[in-house]
């Protein structure tokens, strides 16, 4: 993800995970590449409060967290 941003090979990043270890790279992208859109989808029966909180607090920068079945948090 970070490589694609630095090479300007993407406009939208889609991440499917419930792993809170990915919060730091997502935050880096949100701060360093404000023209990129980050979308996080949570797998069925899985959720990550840390990622969800990050997406909610950063909604102004074209980020969104999406729960199971496409419900936007």
> What pLDDT digit, counting tens, does each position of 8-52 carry?
999 999 988 888 898 899 989 989 998 998 888 888 877 788 887
Q: What's the mean pLDDT in 46-70?
A: 64
H or E segment to which residue 14 belongs: strand 12-16
For residue 24, being part of any structural domain is answered with: yes
How many domains, the chain?
1
For residue 26, being part of any structural domain is answered with: yes
Residue 28 CA to chain centroid, in angstroms?
A: 11
For residue 51, being part of any structural domain is answered with: yes
With a cut of 80, say whether residue 2 has pLDDT above it: yes
Is 31:7 a contact under the CB 8 Å cutoff? no
Is 28:55 a contact under the CB 8 Å cutoff? no
Q: What's the confidence (pLDDT) of residue 73? A: 47
Which domain, by its residues, includes 59?
Answer: 2-68
Q: What's the confidence (pLDDT) of residue 69? A: 44
What whole-number distance in Å separates Cα of residue 29 and Cα of residue 2?
Answer: 7
Total-model pTM: 0.71
For residue 10, being part of any structural domain is answered with: yes
For residue 46, being part of any structural domain is answered with: yes
With a cut of 70, say whether residue 54 has pLDDT above it: yes
For residue 73, being part of any structural domain is answered with: no
What whole-number distance in Å separates Cα of residue 33 and Cα of residue 69?
Answer: 28
């Amino acid at each position: 993800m970070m490589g694609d941003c630095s090479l300007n090979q993407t406009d939208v990043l889609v991440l499917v995970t419930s792993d809170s270890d990915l919060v730091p790279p997502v935050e880096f992208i949100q701060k360093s590449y404000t023209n990129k859109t980050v979308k996080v989808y949570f797998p069925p029966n899985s959720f990550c409060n840390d990622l969800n909180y990050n997406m909610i607090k950063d909604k102004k920068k074209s980020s969104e967290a999406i729960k199971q079945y496409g419900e936007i948090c």
